[in-house]
Structure 1
Amino acid sequence: MAIAYRQRIDDDTEFALWKIEETAEDLYVQLQLNDEEKAVVEKLGTNKRHLHWLSTRVLLRHMLSTNEYIDCQVDSHGKPYLVNHPYQISFSHSFDFAAVMISKKYHVGIDIELVKEKVERIAHKFMNPNERGFISEERKIEELYVCWCAKEAIYKCYGQKEVSFLDNILLEPFRFEGHGVVDAKLRKGDVAIDYTVGYQQYEDYMIGYVTEYSV
């Protein structure tokens, strides 16, 4: 499968989705991996996580349009970064899709989730009472997924551990329209960052994506 969806945010920033229809072997042969990465793939076994790991790297290779080795590392907070390419990156995956966001100018974060009814049962774990109060009855499930994806995208963009979705990432009311933006803020100790998070419904999935100026 080629790239299923691609959206450019500006001249230096974009994200894309890959629909996973290949076998692990088909994905593996498209990659250049060092011994450490090969060991990671082997440890993942043959479950869906295996396909997710491979497909995000294949998608990244397509987006960077390179045949060179891509040195993709993970920092102490679990945030991926590139050693030999001038891009900030973020990965996500859910069931049959992988998502990658890249930018030369910004820190980025992306999340993709398959929309399911069960999100309603856990809403109180990641949304405060004020946020739950602006969710509409008509589009409840979709709006809850916008909120989850927005918070997850901010968490990845910020790139530090010990950030609470419930207490530290706060969303402003929004009107769900299939795609749009949500204003948000991260407040934790001395940290005060405002974000505008984009969201996009794609087939049965919800995508949240965000940028923040690199420093």
Structure 2
Amino acid sequence: MALEYIRQINDNIHLAVWKIEEDLEFYLKNVQLSLIDEKILLETTHPEKKLEFMAGRMLCKTVLHQLDISDLPIFRNEYGKPQIPNSEYDISLSHTENYIALSIGNKLDVGIDIEKPKAKMVKIAPRLYTPQEMEYCQDNLVYYSKMWSAKEVLYKLFMKRELDFREHLNCKPENKEWTLMRGTIKKDEFNKSYKLAFFELKEYFICLNLT
């Protein structure tokens, strides 16, 4: 088993991380999928995407059981967000080359993103960030990447409607270390701010909302 850790972040949020070490057959043998997810897996052709998908479901199964939240298979809803059947808990998943990260919110919507700083973020940043956000990043690759990650979390929190990363999502670091950030979603009548936090994981970092 490759569960790295389960960590309680605050009264309402747990964070869990899974390191992908097993092959696809292991997950296929050990995870029961919902009917919706069976269809998604069948339609997924890329081997790595299949592995990531099943590892994410294995992580959910393991953690939700350990926390005594649910033993039912999760499913992807009509907006693409993972969901626990008949539960007041909200979940969000993110994956990268070697890890799957899971955020669980108790009566709180959650979003999560796991990233490794990548040079491409410098190139695409002007299309995604406001002039003020560009200034915050100070031509720093890590800051560019964290800004992207924060906006990904906001996107997952909103989820149900189309969003423009530059126009509708605004982020501002709240300390010099960039471990905390304030993120705001403004679109039409919707206007809400969230406190976001970053956690280090070797060469990766995890961003999730705290409120």
Contact 1:143–1:176 under 8 Å retained in 2: no
Rounded Cα–Cα distance in structure 1 between residues aligned with 2:53 and 2:40: 9
Q: Which residue of 2 aligns with 1:154?
A: 154
Q: Which residue of 2 aligns with 1:4?
A: 4
Rounded Cα–Cα distance in structure 2 between residues aligned with 1:110 and 1:8: 15
Give the superposition deviation at 1:210: 0.8
Rounded Cα–Cα distance in structure 1 between residues aligned with 2:32 and 2:193: 38
Instruction: Give the unaligned 5+ runs of structure 2.
Output: none
1:41 partner letter: L
Rounded Cα–Cα distance in structure 2 between residues aligned with 1:149 and 1:189: 23
Give the superposition deviation at 1:196: 0.8
SS in 1 for 2:56: helix
Contact 2:6–2:63 under 8 Å retained in 1: no
Q: What's the TM-score once normalised by structure 1's chain length?
A: 0.87
Q: Which residue of 2 aligns with 1:26?
A: 26
**Alignment of 1:16 onto 2:20:** no
Contact 1:13–1:105 under 8 Å retained in 2: no
Contact 1:106–1:211 under 8 Å retained in 2: no
Q: Which residue of 2 aligns with 1:185?
A: 184
Rounded Cα–Cα distance in structure 1 between residues aligned with 2:202 and 2:38: 33
**Alignment of 1:204 onto 2:206:** no
Give the superposition deviation at 1:34: 4.3
Give the superposition deviation at 1:160: 2.0
Q: Deviations over 1:137-191 (max 9, x none)?
A: 4xx11111111111111111122221111111111244453x6210121111111
2:124 partner letter: I
Contact 2:89–2:104 under 8 Å retained in 1: yes
Rounded Cα–Cα distance in structure 1 between residues aligned with 2:174 and 2:138: 10
Q: Within 5 Å, which residues of 2 pair with 1:95-110? A: 95-110=97-112
Rounded Cα–Cα distance in structure 2 between residues aligned with 1:28 and 1:176: 44
Between the aligned residues of both structures, percent identity stands at 27
**Alignment of 1:49 onto 2:49:** yes
**Alignment of 1:170 onto 2:160:** no
Instruction: Give the unaligned 5+ runs of structure 1.
Output: none
Rounded Cα–Cα distance in structure 2 between residues aligned with 1:46 and 1:145: 26
Contact 1:127–1:165 under 8 Å retained in 2: yes
Rounded Cα–Cα distance in structure 2 between residues aligned with 1:125 and 1:208: 21
The structure where strand makes up a greater share of residues is: 1
Rounded Cα–Cα distance in structure 2 between residues aligned with 1:189 and 1:113: 30
Give the superposition deviation at 1:37: 3.0
Q: Which residue of 2 aligns with 1:64?
A: 64
Contact 1:19–1:96 under 8 Å retained in 2: yes
SS in 2 for 1:38: helix
Name whichever of 75-84 and 37-46 sits farther off: 37-46
Rounded Cα–Cα distance in structure 2 between residues aligned with 1:24 and 1:97: 15
Name whichever of 121-130 and 157-166 sits farther off: 157-166
From 128, 142, 165, the equivalent of 2:130 is 128
Q: Relative to structure 1, is the Cα distance of residues 164 and 46 closer, same or farther in structure 2, using a 3 angstrom cutoff? A: closer
Structure 1 residue ranges (4+ consecutive) displaced by more than 6 angstroms after TM superposition: none
Contact 2:56–2:93 under 8 Å retained in 1: yes
Q: Which residue of 2 aligns with 1:92?
A: 94
Rounded Cα–Cα distance in structure 1 between residues aligned with 2:2 and 2:14: 16
SS in 1 for 2:111: strand
Q: How many residues align?
A: 209
Over the aligned positions, Cα root-mean-square deviation in angstroms equals 2.1
1:153 partner letter: V
Give the superposition deviation at 1:57: 0.8
SS in 2 for 1:134: helix
